[in-house]
């Protein structure tokens, strides 16, 4: 891991990845194609991290601002088949393979996602800690070099907001999430003077969406998820240059795990290989939003 100042002479294409655990990366199990770390794709992370504080049923998060940012080589965590996947890795691999990274430039992924977080917990709203932390991290990336440019915003979130405030009706939940997500995305475009910044979002793990979560959220079916997913799709239509990726066929950690493995029962997180595919789909969706600057072919 390196000091940011070591990269002040390096021009970056910057991708912001934000949301909750499926954006942070929780995929396990085998993967068809391993991600090979290289010097062209780097992470910007927060050394301070984050911490939960529970007060009854209301979660809070402690965030140190400004974050203590560092740059490191993008890589999966863990060993062997137990490595934890992250869909920004396969997005980045396809971005580089397709020739979208110009000679002399590197790709920097701002890793702003935090598992188990949402708008209704007052974590991602315009005055909330994770939103402000994300902006501080992106500001740090922008300030490194005047040639740095934001090229994409990758968002995956919403599972938490399907189950918070259980008394909320579907219409109210739809309107709430639609307003919050739209405000976040438009504010990022405005802040970095990128009115056409491509935004890619995606759906939930189908096993969890349809069959529920074996724990605190027992009995959850597809119905409570619909307002949040519909709101996400609506925002993509309304703000322009935004895409929604479908995930009905992608496996959970539970589906990818062998009998006896600890990932059995984890139905809310995409498996490691599902995250590989998800990143490729995010890249294909990104390509559908932009023109020129290289190929859009995903290499299988």
Q: Is the pTM of this model over 0.85?
A: yes
pLDDT string in tens for the chain (300-residue length)? 567 889 999 999 999 999 999 999 999 888 999 999 999 999 999 876 655 444 333 344 555 566 788 899 999 988 766 788 899 999 999 999 999 999 999 999 999 998 889 999 888 999 888 898 899 999 999 999 999 999 999 999 999 999 888 889 999 999 999 999 999 999 999 999 999 999 999 999 998 888 755 544 545 566 678 999 999 999 999 999 999 999 999 999 999 887 667 677 888 999 999 999 999 999 999 999 997 544 444 444
The angle that helices 170-191 and 129-144 make with each other, rounded to 10 degrees, is 20
Q: Which sign does the torsion angle of CA 41, 137, 91, 36 carry?
A: positive
Q: What is the DSSP string of 252-288?
A: BHHHHSPTT-TTTT--SSB-HHHHHHHHHHHHHHHHH
With CA atoms as reference, report the closest residue to 67 among 129, 10, 146: 129
Contact 109, 101 (CB under 8 A): no
Report d(CA 103, CA 107) in Å as an integer: 11
Q: Are strands 51-55 and 58-62 parallel, antiparallel or unpaired?
A: antiparallel
CA-to-CA distance for 275 and 93, rounded, in angstroms? 13
Number of helical (H) and strand (E) elements in the chain, helices listed first: 9, 9
Assigned CATH class of 4-289: alpha beta
Residue ranges covered by each domain of the chain: 4-289
């Amino acid at each position: 891991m390196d000091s940011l100042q070591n990269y002040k002479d390096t021009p970056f294409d910057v991708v912001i990845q934000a949301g909750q655990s499926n954006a942070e990366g929780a995929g396990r199990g085998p993967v068809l194609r391993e991600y090979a770390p290289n010097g062209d794709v780097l992470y910007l992370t927060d050394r301070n991290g984050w911490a939960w504080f529970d007060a009854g049923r209301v979660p809070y998060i402690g965030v140190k601002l400004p974050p203590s940012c560092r740059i490191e080589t993008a890589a999966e965590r863990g060993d062997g088949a137990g490595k934890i996947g992250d869909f920004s890795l396969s997005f980045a691999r396809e971005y580089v393979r397709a020739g979208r990274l110009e000679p002399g430039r590197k790709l920097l992924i701002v890793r702003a996602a935090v598992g188990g977080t949402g708008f209704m917990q007052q974590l991602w709203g315009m005055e909330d800690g994770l939103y402000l932390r994300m902006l501080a991290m992106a500001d740090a990336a922008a300030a490194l070099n005047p040639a740095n440019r934001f090229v994409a915003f990758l968002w995956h979130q919403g599972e938490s907001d399907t189950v918070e405030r259980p008394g909320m009706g579907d219409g109210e939940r739809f309107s709430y999430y639609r307003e919050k997500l739209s405000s976040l995305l438009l504010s990022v475009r405005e802040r970095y003077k990128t009115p056409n910044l491509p935004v890619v979002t995606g759906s939930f793990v189908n096993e969890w969406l349809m069959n529920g979560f074996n724990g605190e959220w027992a009995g959850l079916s597809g119905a409570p998820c619909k307002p949040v997913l519909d709101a996400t799709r609506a925002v993509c239509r309304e703000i322009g240059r935004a895409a929604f990726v479908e995930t009905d066929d992608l496996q959970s950690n539970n589906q990818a795990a062998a009998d006896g493995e600890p990932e059995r029962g984890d139905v809310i997180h995409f498996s490691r290989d599902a995250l590989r595919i998800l990143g490729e789909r995010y890249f294909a969706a990104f390509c559908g939003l932009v023109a020129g600057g290289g190929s859009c072919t995903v290499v299988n």
